[in-house]
Amino acid sequence: MRGVNRAEICDVNFQEFVRSWSGRVQPRPAPQEPILDGSALDARSFRELFESQLISRHLDLMARVLRVQNKVFYTIGSSGHEGNAMVARATRHTDPAFLHYRSGGFMAERFRKLPGMDPIMDSALSFAASAEDPASGGRHKVWGSKPLWVLPQTSTIASHLPKALGTAIAIETARRLNQPLPVPDDSIVICSFGDASANHATAQTAFNAASWTAYQKLPAPVLFVCEDNGIGISVKTPAGWIGESFRHRPDLDYFYADGLDLAAGYGDVLRAVEHCRRTRRPTFLHLRTTRIMGHAGTDFEIEWRSLEELCAVEASDPLLRSAAIALESGLMTQEEILALYEDIRRKCFAAAEEADRRPRLTTLAQVMAPLAPYTPDEVQAEATRVPALEARIKAFGGEDRLPERQPPRHLAIQINQALHDLMAKYPETLLFGEDVAQKGGVYTVTKGLYKAFGSKRVFNTLLDETTILGLAQGFANMGLLPIPEIQYLAYLHNAIDQLRGEACSLQFFSNDQFRNPMVVRIAGLGYQRGFGGHFHNDNSVTALRDIPGLVVGCPSRGDDAAMMLRTLATLAKVDGRVSVFLEPIALYMTKDLYEPGDGQWLTAYPAPDQALVLGEERVYDADATDCVIFTFGNGVPMSLRAAREIQKKHGWKVRVVDLRWLVPLNHAAIARHAGECERILIVDEGRFSAGIGEGVITAITEAGHGGKPLKRVVGADTYTPLAGAAFLVIPKDEDILAAADALA
């Protein structure tokens, strides 16, 4: 039996099953009659669902055949899961959907909801990685559609659950804030996944967060659909585990439906959907499915599973059951079913051959076009647009309290004022995270915002970074502007996939049809005097450096922080971008630069018509050419102090460049400064390996300035210890002076 193609066997099984059927022929039911006695499904609905199932099946069969001919590039199929078409039928095309990769049936059915759409051609273009693929423009085989509100998912299982929950919560948030919603305000969110995936930490955190929300009587209208086929690639889910695990969860309402039998399952699917829509409670639909034709085209099950088992699975094929229903009910004859089957097969192959003739992505520019859109003029115009005076007066509590009328202040205050300004300017802005509301954050950076803007816009989340970033994506999906906070940089890492794999990839994988703009505030970097140890002084931004499309800004002083926040919020508004605003904790309260009491690190609040330009550095002593120091964050005041000492000792005039924008690095600006100066110092408070300093050196070297005297002052490749020893692992003022000496 080795080498036998199970796809062919399923194909033949279906035809033989229909041909050999010998039941009694019934009178044909009227379209509105139940398809079988007691079924919630009428004959017309059954007929359409059956057709959706067949479309899904033939797309799978087509993919298996054409993969071998290099015309199709993906063979994970939906066979055995076609019953998920019922979920599509029971919901609306405006109910946002985040789908499992076995959603061929769901998609074919949802395509019916809008006139003039063709599930077969659209899917074929996606299978063929055609540039005309309406879902992703040829970037991935995803289930996605802008008009049908199907947001494309990545292949990381379970990663979509937090944002699906976020989207459900956002529907309610937007409604309560009277913000325009892109979907009807009684929409629910559909989120499907497999039984093995239900165990994933990212899934579990979403279930927990959904329950946590409902427990407080807050709406979270998400329909979790667990498509239980009993297996994940080759690992069986313990029999009964999904039911056992989910039947009794608090505040997660459990429903079961037989996804292998349309006549039996549809009523249960309807009940689950109706419950979710009416109660606005998180609902768990346990949908029985099976998996035939293996995990993917490359999975030769016959090599690791017994033939008896495979045959048993194939005998449970839901299409056999649908054919039986069609015959038993008298709705279709054997000939009609076989004709329909062949007709859909023909259409799928014809579409695939046509898709193969359509253009593919052929240039790097084409591939990257949707990744990181940037329209500088619009961004600048919007970032410098002054919010209404009344809104500002209200936010700050009086005209005389407008921040630009106050004396110079430190970084934490200026970030706080800038957040007030942003929330006044954009009523769709939400600020949330751990401890950000009443307490105003661990460092009081968000103090007063809760009072000024209320609990609907400024709120504490549960303690889970994955949920925080999932919520942010959900709010963004529903047209709000989220400003989530991650309390400490070290705590981003357990949730970073929500940025790396999800938020930053949405524009890419949807060909920029969907956007989830946000500004993620993260407190981080080292140098807190005598406080915290590693996890409160994490100095590595490396994990953020290579995330495609992400912008990372890191201000070292209050005025830059305020102007940078305006730019980041506008990048989100105008270009849909995801950004990180990295706040150097140790500089929050810093007031002095050279001497205690000199107040030289205080800055005036920039007028509301001032903003930074993405990528633009701040240059201190631009005319100096003896030496340039490239730095950011805590390195800026350190380098300014060192510059003074270097001038005293070596007589060099030193230019200090605060990069401000860490991702992407402005290679052209770095090259220009390096070209204009005789010697080069890099002060990077991050780690020795893979940090910002390496990027700066690359920019310098690639521009041909690698021959100049150059020294890097950088942290060690270690975790940060507690107390005074922390300063052994990160650059100090003296280290910069020593590096200058070495250059002399």
Ligand X SMILES: Cc1ncc(C[n+]2csc(CCOP(=O)(O)OP(=O)(O)O)c2C)c(N)n1
Smallest distance, Å, CB 282 to ligand X? 19
Binder of ligand X out of 195, 356, 382, 560 (CB under 6 A): 195
Smallest distance, Å, CB 228 to Mg ion? 7
Smallest distance, Å, CB 308 to ligand X? 20
For 378-532, strand residue ranges (E) read 429-433, 458-460, 481-486, 518-524
Minimum CB distance to Mg ion smaller for 157 or for 423: 157
Minimum CB distance to Mg ion smaller for 107 or for 198: 198
Minimum CB distance to ligand X smaller for 142 or for 629: 142
Q: Which does 67 bind (CB under 5 to 8 A by kind): ligand X, Mg ion, none?
A: none
What is the 8-class DSSP label of residue 493? Answer: G
Tokens of 56: 């899904």
φ, ψ for residue 42 (rounded to 5)? -90, 170
Q: Which does 233 bind (CB under 5 to 8 A by kind): ligand X, Mg ion, none?
A: ligand X
Smallest distance, Å, CB 687 to ligand X? 27
- Cα separation of the two ends of the chain: 77
Tokens of 253: 């309402």
Q: For residue 291, state whether it binds ligand X (rule: CB under 6 A).
A: yes
Other C-beta atoms lying within 10 Å of the C-beta of residue 215: 11
Cα separation, 609 vs 187, in Å, equals 39
Give the per-residue contact string, 480-499, with ligand X (x = CB under 6 A; - = no). --------------------
Other C-beta atoms lying within 10 Å of the C-beta of residue 199: 16
Q: Which does 131 bind (CB under 5 to 8 A by kind): Mg ion, ligand X, none?
A: none
**According to CB under 6 A, which residues from 96 to 135 bind ligand X?**
102
Minimum CB distance to ligand X smaller for 156 or for 444: 156
Cα separation, 446 vs 455, in Å, equals 13
Which residues, including other chains, have CB under 8 Å from residue 351's CB and lie 6 or more apart?
118, 120, 121, 123, 124
What is the 8-class DSSP label of residue 150? Answer: B
Interior/surface letters 356-376, b for 16+ CB within 10 angstroms, e for the rest: bebeebeeeeeeebbebeeee
Cα separation, 99 vs 109, in Å, equals 13
Q: For residue 60, state whether it binds ligand X (rule: CB under 6 A).
A: no
Minimum CB distance to Mg ion smaller for 80 or for 119: 80
Contact predicate 429/421, CB 8 Å? no
Smallest distance, Å, CB 492 to ligand X? 18
Which residues, including other chains, have CB under 8 Å from residue 187's CB and lie 6 or more apart?
92, 94, 95, 96, 171, 181, 221
Smallest distance, Å, CB 103 to ligand X? 10
Smallest distance, Å, CB 230 to Mg ion? 6
Q: How far is CA 127 from CA 217, 617, 652, 701, in A?
A: 43, 44, 62, 42
Minimum CB distance to ligand X smaller for 102 or for 515: 102
Q: For residue 233, state whether it binds ligand X (rule: CB under 6 A).
A: yes
Q: Which does 157 bind (CB under 5 to 8 A by kind): Mg ion, ligand X, none?
A: ligand X
Tokens of 417: 């004022």
Q: For residue 660, state whether it binds ligand X (rule: CB under 6 A).
A: no
What is the 8-class DSSP label of residue 727? Answer: G
Smallest distance, Å, CB 193 to ligand X? 6
Other C-beta atoms lying within 10 Å of the C-beta of residue 177: 16
Q: For residue 197, state whether it binds ligand X (rule: CB under 6 A).
A: yes
Give the per-residue contact string, 143-162, with ligand X (x = CB under 6 A; - = no). ------------xxx-----
Q: Which does 102 bind (CB under 5 to 8 A by kind): ligand X, Mg ion, none?
A: ligand X
φ, ψ for residue 22 (rounded to 5)? -135, 25
Q: Could you identify the residue written with the tokens 């192959």?
A: 349
φ, ψ for residue 67 (rounded to 5)? -60, -45
Smallest distance, Å, CB 200 to ligand X? 6
Cα separation, 469 vs 325, in Å, equals 45
Smallest distance, Å, CB 699 to ligand X? 34
Minimum CB distance to ligand X smaller for 155 or for 455: 155
Q: For residue 201, state whether it binds ligand X (rule: CB under 6 A).
A: no
Residue 722: which of 530, 585, 487, 488 has the closest Cα? 530
Q: Which residues of the shown chain bind Mg ion in the complex (CB under 5 A)?
A: 194-196, 229, 231-232
Q: For residue 234, state whether it binds ligand X (rule: CB under 6 A).
A: no
Q: Which residue is nearest to Mg ion (CB)?
A: 194
3-state secondary structure of 522: strand
Smallest distance, Å, CB 241 to ligand X? 11
Smallest distance, Å, CB 549 to ligand X? 21
Cα separation, 31 vs 347, in Å, equals 25
Residue 347: which of 136, 108, 139 has the closest Cα? 108
Minimum CB distance to ligand X smaller for 318 or for 517: 318
Smallest distance, Å, CB 502 to Mg ion? 21
Choices 91-99, 226-234, 585-593, 735-743; region in contact with ligand X by CB under 6 A: 226-234
Binder of ligand X out of 87, 120, 196, 214 (CB under 6 A): 196
Cα separation, 297 vs 302, in Å, equals 12
Binder of ligand X out of 137, 232, 576, 695 (CB under 6 A): 232
Choices 8-16, 211-219, 225-233, 307-315; region in contact with ligand X by CB under 6 A: 225-233
Q: Which does 192 bind (CB under 5 to 8 A by kind): Mg ion, ligand X, none?
A: none
Q: For residue 528, state whether it binds ligand X (rule: CB under 6 A).
A: no
Q: Which does 156 bind (CB under 5 to 8 A by kind): ligand X, Mg ion, none?
A: ligand X
Question: At residue 702, what is the residue type?
Answer: E
Smallest distance, Å, CB 138 to Mg ion? 28
Cα separation, 463 vs 570, in Å, equals 28
Q: Which does 140 bind (CB under 5 to 8 A by kind): ligand X, Mg ion, none?
A: none
Q: For residue 231, state whether it binds ligand X (rule: CB under 6 A).
A: yes
- DSSP per-residue string spanning 256-267: EEETT-HHHHHH
Minimum CB distance to Mg ion smaller for 242 or for 714: 242
Minimum CB distance to ligand X smaller for 81 or for 655: 81
CA angle 204/517/560 to nearest 5° reads: 115
Element at 59 (helix H, strand E): helix 43-68
Other C-beta atoms lying within 10 Å of the C-beta of residue 437: 21
Contact positions vs ligand X (CB under 6 A) = 102, 155-157, 193-197, 227, 229, 231-233, 291, 295
